[in-house]
């Protein structure tokens, strides 16, 4: 009946929405949100000052007008038919020539275009061609997000007049599609959407109602995809996730390849993940291995480096684990035109993520153990520092080709941009460590080389950023030719790093350092692998590009690499991000950039190339984590009552000796629970978690009920409770010691009055 009820509700919604409808919005802008200034050649440049705007410049030979992302959430039972903005412009500048759209370059290259080159765009036209462009859509649960690029300026190049638009009256016409996604009750999706859509107050009404979601008999929150060989090494991680209250399991690639049909192994894995998502409510997926263990999907990207169509960089093998996260609508295999080049514009892919996917690029059991030990130590006993280490080295040098670009304080400027626009300034004290400035006072340790960087990291930071050139095996540093390489990452010259108890998340704009695949490079390990596979450093997660990363020397704040970094920290620090898991935060950062990915360019390239390395469910602490200080457990009236002392907790009870096979229950969003079916003669772990708190792990009491003892018996537990009606899972009745001897080793033994013992019985109680 529940399935029929759901079907009737869906059909009713489709009938109600049987006609086109129009959504109306008013979008306002302020001239004070922009800085207008002339460069040294007299050309006018426009810079956005509003940190809430996600803006870029159009590709090609066009004037430098900002495009601002406006994202609107609507029910995914509709598709867009048309959009129509109306506005009034007003003149703000006369007799001005706009500067050219700034060129882009990668952080493994040096630019050659001059800083203020003469504009080459057509001076007979009015720009932009459209002030409100529909870019693309993306699907998230039951929500369709429409992505628009809006420009609040109009430039008449022939008359040299610049106009400003204070507001748009914006109409969107929608038509019913009746092809809704399957509800999955992922609470983080709603929080994610609120972090970037224009109409965030409308999101809750669009999310699926859990009351109407199909009941799942075999939930799976978290899955590890790995090889049969590495599966045993991941068992401690699975055990920990289950202890915290996640329904977790490991599935091997061998099992997937045997079960699923498909023309490629990545497609088979994606089909498996979709099954887990639709049937089991999957939320997190960890790819447990580099591409030799769990294959990646190579996708297409292209960048016109100099905006002149003469220097186009392309790659159709960009490793893209995002492929595995996008499971609804769009072409499922990202090969809609059937040319076996994946992720092209013509493939019409959906960039909305249904699950959160990350990778741990390991190859051996030793690699898995090193990573798992670091992660479990970080989650169970987190140490917090309110300092962020922000590093960098100059990206351009003074050469004949790029003399106008020469900016020795480039890395320092990028650090300032990230610290301010990413919101880090409100939460953390920064420690700068770059080639042109340092906040490290010790003169023997304050110059940036590999040894000193490892020593500084060993002082204890939860976050580190790096703005520099990169190759697959190193960060370029100013004082040496070797740089910070995989050898230093694996065996750092700071032995105290291993034991200091701090674990670090690295975010970097460097090229190639996350190239965990062998499609383009033969070097193994790459830098991220060197960090993540080693037990001798504190790196527990890495967010960096697997191919070229991109920046704009003429406008450092608008480069794709720094924009994704900014969005990562903005989404991490957002109040809408409640759980602050690594996978969901990366997904939110990428979601905010989707509107800029409707054309080939640096933003779409980075959407594919930026791969999160680490655990998808790993919580990220942005302040000193709290402790559960008032947890109480009592046994009375046939029930075990657990009080967490805090609201909104997840409470998990799991039989300890068999990893939950005997007993496993999870309670969400609770302050207390009462359990009446607790098993007798079973020790369970009780784990209480809440975002921003250190997990609290206790051991349940060992219950004895309706039991008659003869002969020799021995029980070891923290607490042993004997009574006649402690739980309803077992028949009521007293505990009777009829004969023999029984030894109880426990910190505390509670004996209720109904318990009986014959005179000849020897009952020995030892304090543990």
pLDDT digits (tens, 9 = 90+) for 6-19: 333 333 344 344 57
The pLDDT confidence band at residue 293, using thresholds 50, 70 and 90, is very high
The pLDDT confidence band at residue 637, using thresholds 50, 70 and 90, is confident
User: Interior CA angle at 249 toward 667 and 620, to 5°?
Assistant: 65
Give the pLDDT of residue 503. 96
Do 198 and 115 share a structural domain? yes
- Here the CATH number for the domain that contains residue 487 is 3.40.50.1460
Q: How many CA atoms, within 13 angstroms, populate the side-chain half-sphere of residue 4?
A: 1
Mean pLDDT of the region 603-622 = 98
The pLDDT confidence band at residue 62, using thresholds 50, 70 and 90, is confident
Instruction: Answer whether residue 211 shows pLDDT above 80.
Output: no
In a domain, 90, yes or no: yes
Mean pLDDT of the region 274-291 = 96
Do 712 and 663 share a structural domain? no
Instruction: Answer whether residue 213 shows pLDDT above 80.
Output: no
pTM value is 0.93
Give the pLDDT of residue 402. 47
Q: How far apart are the C-alpha atoms of 460 and 475, rounded to whole Å? A: 20
Do 414 and 495 share a structural domain? yes
- Here the CATH number for the domain that contains residue 139 is 2.60.40.3800
Domain range spanning residue 675?
632-698
Give the pLDDT of residue 179. 59
Give the pLDDT of residue 98. 95
In a domain, 317, yes or no: no
Residues of the chain with pLDDT > 90, as a percent, come to 72
Q: How far apart are the C-alpha atoms of 304 and 605, rounded to whole Å? A: 11
Give the pLDDT of residue 522. 67
pLDDT in tens, 446-471: 999 999 999 999 999 999 999 999 99
Give the pLDDT of residue 397. 61
Residue with tokens 């108890």: 501
Instruction: Answer whether residue 3 shows pLDDT above 60.
Output: no
Instruction: Answer whether residue 399 shows pLDDT above 60.
Output: no
Return mean pLDDT, the chain.
90
* Last residue in a domain, options 698, 714, 745: 698
Q: CB-based burial of residue 94 (10 Å sphere; 0-12 exposed, 13-18 middle, 19+ buried)?
A: exposed
In a domain, 641, yes or no: yes
In this structure, what token pair is assigned to residue 83?
């959009």
In a domain, 621, yes or no: no
* Last residue in a domain, options 211, 235, 253: 211
Mean pLDDT of the region 309-323 = 90
Instruction: Answer whether residue 403 shows pLDDT above 70.
Output: no
Q: Indicate the number of domains in the chain.
A: 4
The pLDDT confidence band at residue 230, using thresholds 50, 70 and 90, is very high
Neighbours of 757 (CB within 10 A): 16
- Here the CATH number for the domain that contains residue 655 is 2.60.40
In a domain, 50, yes or no: yes
**β-bridge pairing 222-226 and 284-288:** parallel
* Last residue in a domain, options 698, 722, 751: 698
Q: What is the 3-state composition of the chain as percent helix, strand, coil, each rounded to the nearest 5?
A: 25, 30, 45
Lowest mean pLDDT among 224-233, 281-290, 490-499: 490-499
pLDDT in tens, 19-35: 788 989 999 999 999 99
Instruction: Answer whether residue 354 shows pLDDT above 60.
Output: yes
pLDDT in tens, 88-124: 999 999 999 999 888 787 876 655 444 456 788 999 9
């Amino acid at each position: 009946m529940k399935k029929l009820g759901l079907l009737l509700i869906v059909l009713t919604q489709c009938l109600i929405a049987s006609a086109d409808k129009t959504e109306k919005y008013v979008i306002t802008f302020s001239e004070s949100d922009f800085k207008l200034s002339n460069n040294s050649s007299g050309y006018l440049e426009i810079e956005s000052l509003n940190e809430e705007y996600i803006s870029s410049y159009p590709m090609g030979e066009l004037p430098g007008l900002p495009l601002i992302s406006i994202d609107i959430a609507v029910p995914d039972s509709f598709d867009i038919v048309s959009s129509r903005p109306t506005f009034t412009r007003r003149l703000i500048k006369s007799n001005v020539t706009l500067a050219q759209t700034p060129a882009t370059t990668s952080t493994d290259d040096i630019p050659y275009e001059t800083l203020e080159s003469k504009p080459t765009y057509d001076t007979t036209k009015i720009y932009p061609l459209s002030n409100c462009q529909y870019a693309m859509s993306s699907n998230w649960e039951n929500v369709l997000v429409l992505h628009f690029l809006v420009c609040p300026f109009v430039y008449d190049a022939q008359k040299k007049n610049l106009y400003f638009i204070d507001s748009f009256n914006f109409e969107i016409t929608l038509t019913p599609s009746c092809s809704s996604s399957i509800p999955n009750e992922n609470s983080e999706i709603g929080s994610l959407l609120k972090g970037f859509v224009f109409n965030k107050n409308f999101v809750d009404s669009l999310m699926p109602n859990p009351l109407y979601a199909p009941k799942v008999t075999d939930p799976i929150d978290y899955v590890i995809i790995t090889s049969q060989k590495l599966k045993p090494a991941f068992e401690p991680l699975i055990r920990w996730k289950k202890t915290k209250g996640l329904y977790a399991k490991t599935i091997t690639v061998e099992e997937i390849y045997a079960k699923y049909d498909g023309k490629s192994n990545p497609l088979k894995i994606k089909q498996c993940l979709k099954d887990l998502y639709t049937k089991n409510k999957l939320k997190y997926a960890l790819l447990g291995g580099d591409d030799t263990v769990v294959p990646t999907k190579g996708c297409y990207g292209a960048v016109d480096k100099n905006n002149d169509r003469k220097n186009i960089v392309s790659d159709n093998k960009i490793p893209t684990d995002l492929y595995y996260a996008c499971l609804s609508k769009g072409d499922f295999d990202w090969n809609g035109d059937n040319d076996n080049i994946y992720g092209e514009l013509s493939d019409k892919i959906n960039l909305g993520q249904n699950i959160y996917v990350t990778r741990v690029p390991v190859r051996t059991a030793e690699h898995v153990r090193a990573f798992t030990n670091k992660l479990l130590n970080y989650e169970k006993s987190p140490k917090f520092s309110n300092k962020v280490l922000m590093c960098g080295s100059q990206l351009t040098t003074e050469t004949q080709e790029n003399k106008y670009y020469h900016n020795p304080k480039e890395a320092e400027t990028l650090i300032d941009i990230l610290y301010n626009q990413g919101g880090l300034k409100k939460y953390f004290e920064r420690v700068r460590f770059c080639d042109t400035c340092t906040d490290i006072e010790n003169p023997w340790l304050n110059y940036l080389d590999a040894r000193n960087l490892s020593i500084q990291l060993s002082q204890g930071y939860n976050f580190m950023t790096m703005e520099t050139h990169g190759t697959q095996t190193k960060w370029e540093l100013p004082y040496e030719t070797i740089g910070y390489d995989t050898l230093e990452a694996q065996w750092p010259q700071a032995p105290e790093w291993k034991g200091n108890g701090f674990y670090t998340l690295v975010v970097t704009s460097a090229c190639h350092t996350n190239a965990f695949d062998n499609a383009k490079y033969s070097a193994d390990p790459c830098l991220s692998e060197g960090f993540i596979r080693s037990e001798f450093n504190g790196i527990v997660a890495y967010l960096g590009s697997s191919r070229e990363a991109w920046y704009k020397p003429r406008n450092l704040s608008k480069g794709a690499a720094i924009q994704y970094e900014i969005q990562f920290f903005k989404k991490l620090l957002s109040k809408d991000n409640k759980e602050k898991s690594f996978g969901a935060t990366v997904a939110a950062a990428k979601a905010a950039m989707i509107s800029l990915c409707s054309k080939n360019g640096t933003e779409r390239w980075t959407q594919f190339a930026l791969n999160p390395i680490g655990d998808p469910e790993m919580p990220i602490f942005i302040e000193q984590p709290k402790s559960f200080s008032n947890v109480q457990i009592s046994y009375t009236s046939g029930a075990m009552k657990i009080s967490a002392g805090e609201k909104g907790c997840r409470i998990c009870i799991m039989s300890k000796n068999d990893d939950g096979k005997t007993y496993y229950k999870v309670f969400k969003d609770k302050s207390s629970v009462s359990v009446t079916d607790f098993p007798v003669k079973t020790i369970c772990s009780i784990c209480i978690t809440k975002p921003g708190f250190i997990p609290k792990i206790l051991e349940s009491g060992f219950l004895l009920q309706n039991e008659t003892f003869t002969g020799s018996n021995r029980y070891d537990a923290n607490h042993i409770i004997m009574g006649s009606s402690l739980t309803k899972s077992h028949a009521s009745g007293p505990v009777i010691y009829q004969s023999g001897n029984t030894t109880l080793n426990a910190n505390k033994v509670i004996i209720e009055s109904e318990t009986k013992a014959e005179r000849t019985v020897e009952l020995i109680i030892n304090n543990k």
